Each structure stands twice: as structure tokens, then as C-alpha cells.
Amino acid sequence: MSKNDTVIPITAEEKSARIVSIYEVLVDFCCNPDISIDTLNKNVEQLFIALNKRMEGEARIRKYLEDRVDNKDDAKRMSSFTSLVVGSSYSLLKNNKDTLFKTPDALVEILIKWKCEVLTIGRSGADERDKDHFKHAIGSLDKNAQDTLNAGLNTLLECKLKERPERKLIVFFTLAVHDAASNLRIADSLCDAFNACSYIKTMKADKRVSVVVTGTDAILPSSSLTFYKVPGVGPNGFSPAGYSFSKLYQVIKGALLIAVEHQREELTKLLTELEKVMRATPGAADRFAYLQKNQFSVEDIKAYDDIVTKVLEVLEEEGVRGFSWVKDLSVLYTSMHVDRFITASKSQSSSDIDEIIDKICDNVIFRAKNVLTPHRAAFHHIDAALQTIQLDDAAANDVEEASSSCSDVEEASSSCSVFNCTAT
């Protein structure tokens, strides 16, 4: 699928229909007699489930999802690879239709429908290793549980290599959380586990592993106005949020896992520059403290934009074989966003439940025009994977053609030598 296939323009009529649909869901949410401070998490989770169902019921979204699921070419392409999805709880959620999926859960569901071989690893979930097409292992992303993550990854890949050692692997690093400091720690933990895994090293040497990182439009330069920009001193009066820095960090770390040597040198240099910016802010003891603030200096923003531009040159113009980052992602209503909505609403109001509900509704409406459902976001990840596969095939063909060309030259040279000898 091309990028244009993933972007679905919304008409004025459809916008009106969405507003009415969301309004109806919000009325039900506000009129719930059982809602309280103690039940708010569950209530907001049910609100998000209802919102996602309504949006996926819209004619254009429903047709898009149906067409994508029925796309036999995409299904065949993806089913020729083993997919490792990091951070999914699908093994716990799959039998509960009223569960709020995260993007990695929706991604796993689609891949299993396509009969793909899927491996998942996350801090929770049923330990399933003997099911057709699906295996899950426990591996915590907590900063003090690196051994658990390493063991989980090794367990999954050991099973895979024993069963089908020739298969190629696509790793979906669905890394995004809203806490910027956690994003840095998660990226470090996953990349350390990836680099320590002997099975991954074997597949990397044979060019049988690819990496897809959840990017979002947060990493775009500060001149690009998105939901991830906050009032500040950047272009148009906005600055990148700390989240933007953390997502750029993740994308660079992910690319470094796959990049060839000269690209590794450039990306390592850019990562060092980003670390330097994050640590150089006066009064910030470390990069985590720095990322918690959103008021960056003009120099910080200029440095950020410069690094983003150079990273995109490597990733987009030159291309890193076996790597892609997911674009066109913005707002989602998922389980990961429940606490964030509640916390933001409480900070903007008193502890009065009616005021908190009003603020939650305001946040939903404010984000409604840009929101994606988890399944839409999952297909953005699949598109990134398909792009990686296509680029990898093209690179392999170039190598094969170059090799063939060299063979032809050697053969011609050999023929010429024989001819000369005969003539002599």
C-alpha cells in the first residue's frame, strides 16, 4: 500500500456525522449514574471502546478496514515472514470482545487473521508457545528487569529457529508511552536485549531480520504543527514537547540496530548530539529531568530541528535497509491513554466528578478530528513493514544483478583470453 492509500480524507458531511456520533457516546458517558472517582478508569476505558466502535462503524473507515483485511497480496507478503510484536497483551485480550485494545494488540489480531506466524512479548499475558501461528513469552520492559526481557526474547526465537530456521523476522518495536523518560528507558532495554540475542545476531548476519519502530508525527521539526507541539519559543510560537525528543531517540536507536557501518557512524553521531542537547539544559541533572519540561530554549529547538533533518536524510533519502518507522500516527483512544486523560482532566479542575467528566469530554472532542482507531494504526505499522520488505527485495535484487554483471564480465574476459590464445 502506498502512503496515499493510508490517508483517508474526511468530507464536511462525514465530519458532521462523526460529531453527532461522538456526541451520542459522550452523552451516554456523562449520564452514567454509576460513574465516580473510584470507577473513573473503568468508565473511561468503556468510553474509548464505544468511541472506537463508532468510528470503525463509519462507512469510509469500515470499507477501508474491510478492504485491507481482505487484501490477499498484503496477507501473502506478511505471512512469508515471522512477526515479533513487542508490548502486546493479545494473549489475555483475544477472547474478550469488550476489551480496549492497544495498537500492538490490534496488529497481532490482523496478522493472525492473515495466518501469519506471530511472536509476542510483554510484561503480562498468557504464556503460550504451542498454539498455531501464535507464541507469547513474558518479558518485562521495566528498567530493573533486563534479564527477564532477554530470557523472553531468547525463548521465543529459540522456538522459532528450531521450527523454521530459514524464516525472515520482522520486529515491531511498538515502543511509545506518554512518559518521555520511560520512552528512553524502554528503547535502551529493547535494544540491549536485541543486541545481546545470539539468534538475532545470526539473522542480522544473513540479512534475515527487519525492524519497524512506532514513530508518530511527534518527531517532525518544530515548524510542523501537531498535537505534540506545545506553546513555546519555536517557529509559529510552538516548541516540540519532551515526548518528541524521546520518540526521535527511539527511532535513531531502532535504526542503529540494522544500519550498515557508514550509516551507524552518522546515526551514532546524531544520537550523541541529541543526548548532548537533552543533558545540556541548565538546572537539569540528567536527560530524564530535561524531558519533563516543555519550555525549551531557542538553541535547544534549533539543535533538535537540525538533528531531525539529518536523521530523515539518512532514513528517507538514503534509506536503511531492513528498517522503517511508522508515519501518519497521531491521536488514539487506547488503554494507554486512559490514565493520561484522567490525570489531565484532574489537573485542570477540582476533584468534583462533574468537572472532571466535562474536561474528559472536552479532551475527546478536541482530538476527534485527528483520531485513529487501533486497527487503523495497526495498518500503518503493516504499511511500514511492507515498505521495508519492498526496499529489502530491491536491495537484494541490486546485489544479485551486480553479482550477475560481474560474472558476465569475468566470463567475457575469460572468453577473450581463450580467443587470444587461439589466435596466437
Which residues, other chains included, contact 220 with Cβ-Cβ below 8 Å and sequence gap of 6+?
226, 308
Give the per-residue pLDDT at 114: 93
333 is written with which cell numbers? Answer: 483512544
Q: Tens digits of per-residue pLDDT, 199-254?
A: 888 888 888 889 999 877 778 887 776 656 666 656 655 666 778 888 899 999 99
**What's the mean pLDDT in 320-343?**
84
256 is written with which cell numbers? Answer: 542503529
| Of 79, 88, 80, 92, nearest in space to 108 by CA | 88
DSSP code per residue over 170-194: EEEE----S-HHHHHHHHHHHHHHH
Give the per-residue pLDDT at 78: 93
Percentage above 90 pLDDT, the chain:
19
Q: Tens digits of per-residue pLDDT, 264-286?
A: 999 999 999 988 888 765 555 56
Q: Is residue 129 scored above 60 in pLDDT?
A: no
How many alpha carbons fall within 13 Å on the CB side of residue 360? Answer: 30
* Average confidence score pLDDT of the chain: 78
Angstrom distance (rounded) from CA 373 to CA 211:
23
Give the per-residue pLDDT at 156: 79
Give the per-residue pLDDT at 419: 28
Give the per-residue pLDDT at 92: 64
Q: Tens digits of per-residue pLDDT, 185-202?
A: 888 888 888 888 888 888
pLDDT range class, residue 423, cuts 50, 70, 90: very low
pLDDT range class, residue 416, cuts 50, 70, 90: very low
Residue type, 158: E
Measured CA angle at 324 (ends 321, 330), to 5 deg: 170
Q: Is residue 420 scored above 50 in pLDDT?
A: no
Q: Which comes out higher in pLDDT, residue 395 or 247?
A: 247
Strand 134-138: give its sheet, edge to edge. Answer: 134-138, 117-122, 81-86, 168-173, 209-214, 323-326
**What's the mean pLDDT in 46-66?**
89
Q: Is residue 386 scored above 90 in pLDDT?
A: yes
Give the per-residue pLDDT at 299: 82
Please give the distance of CA 280 from its chain centroid, rounded to a whole number.
Answer: 28
Angstrom distance (rounded) from CA 117 to CA 139:
19
Q: Is residue 131 scored above 50 in pLDDT?
A: yes
Angstrom distance (rounded) from CA 153 to CA 200:
10
Give the per-residue pLDDT at 28: 92
Q: Which comes out higher in pLDDT, residue 418 or 284?
A: 284
Give the per-residue pLDDT at 130: 43
Q: Could you tell me if 318 and 284 are in contact, meaning their C-beta atoms sit under 8 angstroms apart?
A: no
Give the per-residue pLDDT at 20: 82
pLDDT range class, residue 415, cuts 50, 70, 90: very low
**Dihedral sign (CA 340, 345, 351, 352):** negative
Give the per-residue pLDDT at 58: 84
Beta-carbon neighbour count of residue 3 at 10 Å?
Answer: 11
Q: Which comes out higher in pLDDT, residue 225 or 378?
A: 378
Domains, in order of start, for the chain: 71-333+373-392 (3.40.50)
Q: Where are the alpha helices (DSSP H) in 280-373?
A: 287-291, 298-312, 335-347, 353-367
Return the bridge partners of 8, or none. Answer: none
**What's the mean pLDDT in 168-188?**
82
Give the per-residue pLDDT at 59: 83
| Of 369, 358, 361, nearest in space to 24 by CA | 361
Give the per-residue pLDDT at 283: 53
φ and ψ of 158, to 5 deg: -65, -45
**What's the mean pLDDT in 111-139?**
71
